[in-house]
Structure 1
């Protein structure tokens, strides 16, 4: 296989590994608040929103050390061991206890930081300036198939169920645990690209720590410490660059809307008694529609990257408009107390007669808009920080996850219309700062092209 084909195959395997893992984890996140409301036990007093807030809070803090971990053991083992912790979190729901629930939440937060930093490292090392957009789109589309398969399973398993029994819960989470483990082992199929096929500028580790090739004049311990410290310092330097500070507002918005579409909106749909007895199973259909939007956006914007003469800004503008339409329709269609309603649901009506079709259309629009923002952020960060991709993606996930943690925290208390207002304001500001970062990146690229000529 030629070097370019080998690198493309690595991206595809990476996408399939994440697809299996997040088929399990995203489905788990989508249904866990509904499952917890249906779980009657004096030994369990957990909250799905609180758990996700812990996950993303620990995730954000752990991004400070994640580049060091990836530098020391390499991204392949980093992704594998992180995946095992994800599987443990899902398996916990088979027999949940409050202590194990929140302990697993902390461990998944640490694992997430390492997993996504390693993913960004693999993506950057297997891409060039001309293929980073395409590869980001391919990875994103494959990842988002997870929403389709996982939620289709939920719809079939829970169709017609008004109450989720212990047997329903156990069957679903045993299946999701097995699916997650399959994804973990797929990471071992990724191969290190040939040295001559990689960018000469890129010197980061891929499948093994570079310390194994270090000079014999220094001890392995000092080499590992030096790599870890260097990765941390690089992350701190990248965090305060002009480009990253501009992108941080847009990244923060993706954290807020990630919380909304992955945890809050499905809970809202399941709480709407006016949707009938199938309201709980509609959570699965909603997740499928989100996935279709994500897959369509990731595929189209990734494949058309080379043909896009206008840069990344039009795609982000499309994402902003798409999300604004979705937020307005949700405001009209979903009762304001739906995020906080008890298991019995809410009988309140918003401003129009509740429509399942409108609710599912909004799910699709949420997914499409999210793919617009994330594919372009992956692309621009991979382009701007190619020489230090692992620390750069760690900073990306640090900002995104701390905002997601904040959003899951306030989701315990704020009515729907206040949550939508926060999303509208942050989405507008994030888009404006992205436009500025893109213009700066384009001017830098033109200067580089001129210098090379």
Structure 2
């Protein structure tokens, strides 16, 4: 098997493994606030929003050490052990306790940093400059199939259920735990691509310790402690580069809207009593259409990345306009107190008569816009920091997760229209900063072309 085919196969295995893991975890995040409201137990007092705020807060801090972990144990084992923690968090909902709920929230935050740093490293070392856009699109599309399959299950399992019973909760979370574990073990199918068989541009992006230099005659291998320290220093250095500082505003926006579409919007739909008895099952239908938007965007924009004349900026602008349309329709269609409504829901409405079709359309638009931003951010970071992919993606997830943590925290207190306004302002600023960063990339590429003449 040629190295190019092996690299593409690795991307598909990586994407399918993440698809199964996040079929479980994203579905869990989408429904957990609704499940918690329905859980009758004197032993449990927790908030889904607070749990997610803890996860993303710890995730953010842990990104500073994640490159060191990946450098020491390698990306493959990093994926596997991190995935086991995700499975434990999901299994905890079979019979939750307050202490286990928040303990696993902390552990998942640490695991998430290692997981996504390893993912970014594997994506980069299995790509070249000419395939990084395509591979980002393939991975993103496969990952977002998780939203489709997991939420379809929720829609069918909870159809016409006003209250979620204990047996309903246990059945769902046992199934999700098994699905997550299958995804974890798939990571062992990823094959090592030998550095000498790779194009120079791909082999240079390997993490320290991933190459076979230590096996060469006369080369003294670095200690694991040195590898860890070097990876940590590199992450700090990359965080303050001009390009990363510009991209950080765009990345921050993806953290805010990740919080909204993965946790807040589904809760809002489930709280709308004016949607009738099927309001709870509509959480699953909403997730399905978010997934359809993500899959369509990941597939389409991954292919467009192959066309160098098309560029990244139009895709990001499309994402911003798509999200602005979604936010406006949600503002009209959903009651302002829906994010904070009790288990029995809210009797209020927005500025129009609540409409299920509009709610589902907004789910699709949220997914489509999210894929616009994320595919282009994966592409530009993979291009800019090819030689330091693990630290670069650690910085990416650090910024994204800290803003997601802030957003999950304020979701406990802010009415819907204030949450939408924050995303509008940050999204606009993030789009402008992305344009500036991409302009630097274009200038750098032009200078490189002139130097090669």
Give yes or no for TM over 0.5.
yes
Query: Deviations for 1:176-234, whole angstroms, at most 9, x for unmatched residues?
Result: 000000000000000111323424254455797559927899998x7011000000011
Q: 2:6 is matched with which residue?
A: 6
Q: Which moved more, 1:145-154 or 1:1-10?
A: 1-10
Query: Deviations for 1:302-348, whole angstroms, at most 9, x for unmatched residues?
Result: 01221241310000000000000000000000000000000000000
Query: Deviations for 1:421-449, whole angstroms, at most 9, x for unmatched residues?
Result: 00000000000000000010011011111
CA distance 1:309–1:211, change in 2 (3 Å): closer
3-state secondary structure, aligned to 1:226: helix
CA distance 1:215–1:198, change in 2 (3 Å): closer
Q: Does 1:303 align with 2:314?
A: no
Q: Which moved more, 1:385-394 or 1:201-210?
A: 201-210
1:450, 1:207 → 2: CA distance? 31
Aligned partners of 2:58 and 2:110 also within 8 Å: yes
Q: 2:214 is matched with which residue?
A: 213
Unpaired stretches in structure 1, ≥5 consecutive residues: none
Query: Deviations for 1:26-83, whole angstroms, at most 9, x for unmatched residues?
Result: 0000000000000011100010000000000000000000000000000000000000
Q: 2:257 is matched with which residue?
A: 257
CA distance 1:192–1:173, change in 2 (3 Å): same
Q: 1:240 is matched with which residue?
A: 240
Q: Does 1:406 align with 2:406?
A: yes
Q: Which moved more, 1:207-216 or 1:368-377?
A: 207-216
Q: 2:382 is matched with which residue?
A: 382
1:283, 1:207 → 2: CA distance? 44
1:197, 1:268 → 2: CA distance? 51
Aligned partners of 1:23 and 1:180 also within 8 Å: yes
3-state secondary structure, aligned to 1:306: coil
Q: 2:82 is matched with which residue?
A: 82
Q: 2:116 is matched with which residue?
A: 116
Aligned partners of 2:62 and 2:113 also within 8 Å: yes
Aligned partners of 1:235 and 1:391 also within 8 Å: yes
Tell me the number of residue pairs that the alignment of Structure 1 and Structure 2 aligns.
Answer: 452
Q: 2:277 is matched with which residue?
A: 277
CA distance 1:387–1:283, change in 2 (3 Å): same
Q: 2:447 is matched with which residue?
A: 447
In the TM superposition, 1:41-440 aligns within 5 A as 41-201=41-201, 202-203=203-204, 205=206, 209=210, 213=214, 223-440=223-440
- TM-score of the two chains, using structure 2 as the length reference: 0.97
1:180, 1:124 → 2: CA distance? 24
Please provide the CA RMSD for this pair.
1.7
Aligned partners of 1:192 and 1:206 also within 8 Å: no
2:407, 2:36 → 1: CA distance? 19
Q: 1:22 is matched with which residue?
A: 22
Aligned partners of 2:148 and 2:288 also within 8 Å: yes
Unpaired stretches in structure 2, ≥5 consecutive residues: none
1:216, 1:68 → 2: CA distance? 26
Aligned partners of 1:319 and 1:373 also within 8 Å: yes
1:12, 1:171 → 2: CA distance? 30
CA distance 1:208–1:158, change in 2 (3 Å): farther
TM-superposed CA distance for 1:2, in Å, is 1.6
- TM-score of the two chains, using structure 1 as the length reference: 0.97
1:34, 1:212 → 2: CA distance? 52
CA distance 1:225–1:208, change in 2 (3 Å): closer
> Which contiguous aligned blocks of 4+ residues in structure 1 show a shift greater than 3 angstroms?
201-212, 214-220
